[in-house]
A and B are shown apart, each in its own frame.
Chain A
Amino acid sequence: MMAKLKIFKMNTGSCNGCDIEILDALLSPRFKLKKYEIEIVEKPEEADLIILSGPITLKMRKFVAEIKKKANGKKIIAVGSCGVEGGIWFDSFATYGGIDKMLDVDVFIPGCPVKPEAVIYGIAIALGLESPRIKRVEYQEP
């Protein structure tokens, strides 16, 4: 039984590294999933999942704001070091910051670029099939 998974994907200012990896994860035969048929849709309101990659550049802000209006309740996935916290562009004059600065992000996938396997894993977390394996670690010198 194949379930359809509609994904809307947007580059909010990424270097295209993550985008290539995301498309590899979503479209290539190596990452074809048994239970899900992935379809990339044109409009965010049609999608089940919204995948955004890259830091929000100042010019992309209005488009991200548009997604915020249309996303109501849909799972949002921020991909890449830039999408999570601004990455290498954290203090650039042309970027606004990570995606969680404007939207409520459900899943963060760090990586520079992310591995396609990590994208699949992030989607699995968003769908509730997997749970996060990384935890905050604190250490104090004894």
Chain B
Amino acid sequence: MSSIKEIIKREPFEKFRGKPEVDPTKCIGCAACANACPPQAIIARDEDGFRIIEFSFGRCIFCGRCEESCPTGAVKLSSNYLLATTTKDDLKLVMKFRLAKCRKCGRLFATERQIEHAISEVEKAGYTNIEDLREAQYYCPECRAKLFAERVLLSLKFFRGEV
């Protein structure tokens, strides 16, 4: 026989999947976890210049796919299972990230952290023309495609001797 306090102190077995712990300082707001989440316990939406990532641990099935899909390791499943509560509001985690504007068309297309993460990843891979890359990364995908197409056309003209 044991008391309630003794029972809830018991450690779960190794590799137990408990509550996903999120480090908001590491999160870049890319919403990869929201795409991977089978019960849609993680929802991502864009609202007034912010991307909102909302975790609802009430619906979470503790599968660990958010941890698998996270590019920065911001989500880690802990061994915490004492999630019982009296209101569903306690089971929410809301994170807000600023969205960046496209420098050409002004559309909000990705979070600032996401862009910085992409730049640092390309930098790690050995790309050296960072200033050029930085400019291109702050264009939305459509404008970026146009930008590169214009550059290719310009270089073609240059080689033909038209410019």
Contacts and interface: CB of A to CB of B under 8 A. Distances in A.
A138 B94 CA distance: 5
Contacts of B4: 33, 35, 120-121, 124, 129-130
Contacts of B57: 110, 134
Given A33-B2, A100-B88, A85 B56 contact: yes
B109 interface: no
Interface stretch (A40-48, A62-70, A101-109): A101-109
Given A110-B83, A141-B113, A90 B59 contact: yes
A122 interface: yes
A139 B84 contact: no
Interface string B1-17: 11110011010100000
Contacts of A135: 90
Contacts, number: 138
B59 to A, nearest CB: 4
Interface in A106-135: 106-112, 114-115, 117-118, 120-122, 124-125, 129-130, 132-135
Given A117-B7, A129-B4, A81 B59 contact: yes
A8 B84 CA distance: 19
B38 interface: yes
Nearest to A29: B1
Interface of A: 31-35, 81, 84-88, 90-91, 98, 100, 106-112, 114-115, 117-118, 120-122, 124-125, 129-130, 132-141
The 9 closest A-B pairs by CB, nearest first: A122-B84, A139-B24, A84-B58, A132-B85, A112-B61, A85-B59, A85-B58, A109-B84, A140-B96
B60 interface: yes
Contact of B3 (A35, A106, A107, A108): A35
Given A134-B91, A136-B93, A137-B93, A125 B85 contact: yes
Interface of B: 1-4, 7-8, 10, 12, 19, 24, 38-41, 56-62, 81-98, 112-113
A23 to B, nearest CB: 16
B58 A108 contact: yes
A2 B98 CA distance: 56
Contact of A111 (B40, B41, B81, B96): B81
Given A85-B56, A111-B62, A34 B3 contact: yes
Contacts of A114: 81
A110 B19 CA distance: 10
Given A134-B90, A136-B93, A111 B83 contact: yes
